Amino acid sequence: MEKRIVVLPGDGIGPEVTGEAVRLLGAVGERFGHRFEFQFAKIGGAAIDETGVPLPDETLRACLASDAVLLGAVGGPRWDRLPGPQRPEAGLLKLRKALGVYANLRPITVHAPLAGASTLKPEVVEGVDFVIVRELTGGLYFGAKERRQGEHGVEVTDTLVYTEQEVERILRLGFELARQRRRHLTSVDKANVLESSRLWREIAERLAPEYPDVTLTHLLVDNAAMQLVKNPRQFDVIVTENMFGDILSDEAAMITGSIGLLPSASLGSGGPGLYEPIHGSAPDIAGQGLANPLATFASVAMMLDYGFGLAEEAAAVRRAIAEVLSEGWRTADIAAGGPAISTEQMGEKVRNALR
């Protein structure tokens, strides 16, 4: 199989983790006889420094014409003073919107040998295995924003807009995914306060009879935040809107011990998907070989699986990750003060395990 992958290293630790991911894909290609062609392009702060904008047209064109996009991370203190639309993050949001990737899947799995790496008790986190389905191209992130001078000083507005169609398609995806797993869907909203959440809940109820094999539970987002640390094993698939999904997925990441382990896939209706670790640019450790590449490797597995239909290859990557962890190899973020290996060394371990 031949595939064209656009790699967007971005900022901070992005170049280190995507660099290792490209080498891993090379190893996958060798072992299974595929040809992956890579095209590198700029996004985020790196693009701002070179072109003045966070998502150059050239980058967007390359992404739209690709089979899949692999992204490292965007953002950093150097660009924090820029106005909203010129920030590195705006480039990522624009890319998500342009690719139409409305569904962001964030699997939260605790690797057995790492149960002790979480700040939560091992007996609470052992066996945790759920997926957050986050709506990615609507809501507060994309509604009109305004800042004006009012009677009492500055006034600001962020608008939360959702259409029935946007809510229905993401909820359907949640139901479908639950059907392939343990058949439990938790829909998270704030229906006691927000009109958008009331529509969300209505639509979830309306769809439920079409999925009689799936048990639907509604949770208010504040309660969901509490349940995630109280008893995370209760979850199978969580579906929620953009902002709630952003917040809950960082919280959920800590169940696994490190945000450096968690991948994501952003999918739309047929075009190239966007695959990225959820950890962000971590400017404090950038360029030191301290970053954990496993989240990006797991994102590569999602790319192979959802993007290219290469389930066997994806499973081989996941197995290689699991093997290296069970052999005791750790990057600093999961070493709990013990001996740690570098980003590159971790990359090499996983490539060897794959071969």
Q: Contact between 70 and ligand IPM (CB under 6 A)?
A: no
Selected binder of ligand IPM within 75, 263, 272, 347 (CB under 6 A): 75
Clarify whether 49 is annotated catalytic: no
Q: Does 20 bind ligand IPM (CB under 6 A)?
A: no
Candidates 16, 20, 67, 89; binder of ligand IPM (CB under 6 A) is 89
**Residue 5 and residue 329 in contact, taking contact as beta carbons nearer than 8 Å:** no
Catalytic residue status for 145: no
Dist CA 253 CA 232 (whole Å):
11
Q: Choose from ligand IPM, Mg ion, none: what does 92 bind? Cβ within 5-8 Å by kind.
A: ligand IPM
Q: Per-residue x/- marks for ligand IPM, 92-121, CB under 6 A?
A: x-----------------------------
CA distance 76 to 11: 7
Integer Cα distance of 179 and 201 in angstroms? 19
Of all helices (H) and strands (E), which one includes residue 236?
Answer: none
Measured from the CB atom, the residue of 204 and 255 that comes closer to Mg ion is 255
How do beta strands 237-240 and 129-135 pair? parallel
The answer to whether residue 141 is catalytic is yes
246 is an active site residue? yes
Choose between 236 and 276: whose C-beta lies nearer to Mg ion: 276
Per-residue contact track with ligand IPM, 237 to 266, x per CB under 6 A? ---------x--------------------
SS3 content of the chain, % helix, strand, coil (to 5): 50, 20, 30
Which one among 6, 46, 278, 354 touches ligand IPM, defined by CB under 6 A? 278
Look at residues 135, 110, 109 and name the one whose alpha carbon lies nearest to residue 239: 135
User: Roughly how many angstroms between the first and final C-alpha of the chain, as a whole number?
Assistant: 19
Contact 281, 10 (CB under 8 A): yes
135 is a site residue for ligand IPM (CB under 6 A)? no
HSE of 131 in the Cβ direction (CA atoms, 13 Å)?
24
Q: Active site includes 3?
A: no
Q: How far is the CB of 30 from ligand IPM (least distance, A)?
A: 31
Secondary element (H or E) of residue 200: helix 195-207
Catalytic: which of 141, 162, 275, 306? Answer: 141
User: Using CB under 5 A as the criterion, which residues of the chain lie in contact with Mg ion when the complex forms?
Assistant: 246
Annotated catalytic residues are: 141, 190, 222, 246, 250
Interaction site with ligand IPM (CB under 6 A): 74-75, 89, 92, 246, 278
